[in-house]
Structure 1
Amino acid sequence: MEDGKLTVRAVERALDILLCFTDESDLSLTEIAVRVSLHKSTVHRLLASLEGKGFILRDFATDKYRLGFRIWELSANMVHTHDPAMILLPEMERLRDQLDETISLYVCDGLERVRVQAVESNQAIRRVAPIGARLPLYVGASSKILVAFAEPQLLEALMKAHNLPTALERTVFLQQLAEAKELGYATSVEERELGTAAVAVPIYNQAQQLVASLAVSGPSNRLTLAKMKEHAPVLIEAARRMGKMLR
């Protein structure tokens, strides 16, 4: 039994190492050890096992590690026919070309939102949206959408969370959620990042289940409240079309 626990722990640690590369392309042994809070000797052994299976590659010139080709082999076999991020990509590209701003797709994961797809604007000054980024559910246009249009249990859990910022005015937040439900869209201006703004709408599948939040984001001096109000009907119509594509 004890050996089984040790084996599971080793698997969890190996997965934690792989997850270190969600926001970085290459990392040193020390950087990985700090991120997973393990001794370097333990991390080195786990990396050697992952490298042996092709999940990790070591660059001997820089002495840094990066994801191996086995990861791409696995992703190539994903069932994309049911993956909203892949199904909706062509529509997101068309919306990007129409509005000339960055388009993002977010889904809810616990008390966080995850950017599962993004198409960046072609403008020189644009909103950079890395896929896989995890963001809190209590701030931002897409967060408001994912909470406002979700089942009430999500809002209850969010309000009880210990990691809510002390500066969060719950009354204002609840009012913003109510406005989002009334208008069918939500906006944010420099709520999470200085100089950025976003407008978001919900995407429902054919069973009328909330699937994701579709957002347009860009520099706040270009994506003003007036401009976001102008984009909202276009975004709502795009979300309606996208919803019809999802079972």
Structure 2
Amino acid sequence: MPEFSKTADQALALLLSIGEEGGATAAALADRLGMHRTVAHRLLATLEQRGFVGRRSDGYELGLVLRRLAARVEPELLQVARVVMDDLSATTGEATMLSVREGNDAVTAALVPGTRHLVRVALEPGFRHPLHAGAAGRAVLACLDDRIRRRVVDASPAPAALREQLKEIRRLGYASSHDELQEGLCGIAAPVVGEGGLVASLSLTVPLTRAADLQKWAGDVVRAAGRLRDELGAATRMTGGS
């Protein structure tokens, strides 16, 4: 078995904590991970020197090095997703969105507009909302690590109701929303849980006047999310093996 490095593991734990649970001071990160504060300070100083974290007034955040590395991965995600999204929009005639998690938010990464109706949904990429709100966000939230999910749920306006919603999402395989994020819109979203911890969601969003049509597309959305998951996995394995 390869030799295990405790120091490297602790540094990676700090990066994962900042990325998954949000930035914080060195003391707060140490407490969060059960790590000695002196060790956390030393490791964060090293990570900052290498550009993996950056320091701001209220603590540490992920640095530019990680953001550059992530930017190399994102085009592959969008390239694979675009084909699946085009097919889903062609099948349903409605707007298809890919949303990804950034901290405690869901962010629209890509949109394929609908084609069959005069009244269309056009949410620009970059649209951001809390994970606990909207179908796209809750689909992601339902599939996060238990510890992260509990933290987000406990900080939401209605934790008990949200827990029940997430149970239902995991049972059905998709989330729904009605006149929630933007007045006059409703949506249905399925999670995409990929290799390496990627959690995103694929969703249809329609005007309320066509809300009755959403339910009949639920199976198509779930199947499209599964296809995206499989194709991302295949692309990752191909890249790793090249």
Matched, 1:96 2:85: no
> Matched residues in 1 for 2:110 and 2:158: separation?
30
Q: 1:81 to 1:118 in 2, by over 3 A?
A: closer
Among 201, 215, 230, the residue aligned to 1:229:
215
Q: What amino acid is aligned across from residue 112 of structure 2 in structure 1?
A: V
> Matched residues in 2 for 1:100 and 1:208: separation?
32
> Matched residues in 2 for 1:97 and 1:223: separation?
18
Matched, 1:115 2:108: yes
**Once the 2 structures are TM-superposed, how far is the Cα of residue 209 of structure 1 from its aligned partner?**
4.3
Q: TM-score, normalised by structure 1?
A: 0.61
Q: From the two aligned structures, give the one with the greater helix fraction.
A: 2
CA contact (8 A) 1:204 1:210 kept: yes
Q: What amino acid is aligned across from residue 199 of structure 1 in structure 2?
A: I
CA contact (8 A) 2:89 2:112 kept: yes
What residue is the counterpart of 1:212 in the other structure? Answer: 200
> Matched residues in 2 for 1:211 and 1:159: separation?
17
CA contact (8 A) 1:141 1:198 kept: yes
Q: 1:169 to 1:80 in 2, by over 3 A?
A: closer
Q: What amino acid is aligned across from residue 165 of structure 2 in structure 1?
A: Q
| Unmatched segments (≥5 aa) in structure 2 | 1-50, 57-67, 237-242
> Matched residues in 1 for 2:187 and 2:159: separation?
21
CA deviation vs aligned residue, 1:36-68 (integer Å, no higher than 9, x gap): xxxxxxxxxxxxxxxxxxxxxxxxxxxxxxxxx
> Matched residues in 1 for 2:97 and 2:75: separation?
18
What residue is the counterpart of 2:79 in the other structure? Answer: 86
What residue is the counterpart of 2:138 in the other structure? Answer: 144
**Once the 2 structures are TM-superposed, how far is the Cα of residue 136 of structure 1 from its aligned partner?**
1.1
What residue is the counterpart of 2:150 in the other structure? Answer: 156
What residue is the counterpart of 1:193 in the other structure? Answer: 182
Count how many residue pairs are aligned between Structure 1 and Structure 2: 167
| Unmatched segments (≥5 aa) in structure 1 | 1-7, 14-74
Matched, 1:202 2:195: no
Q: TM-score, normalised by structure 2?
A: 0.62
**Once the 2 structures are TM-superposed, how far is the Cα of residue 83 of structure 1 from its aligned partner?**
2.6
What residue is the counterpart of 2:8 in the other structure? Answer: none
Q: What amino acid is aligned across from residue 109 of structure 1 in structure 2?
A: E
Q: What amino acid is aligned across from residue 120 of structure 2 in structure 1?
A: R
What residue is the counterpart of 1:173 in the other structure? Answer: 162
Q: What amino acid is aligned across from residue 119 of structure 1 in structure 2?
A: V
CA contact (8 A) 2:153 2:163 kept: no
Percent of aligned pairs with the same amino acid: 25
Matched, 1:244 2:238: no
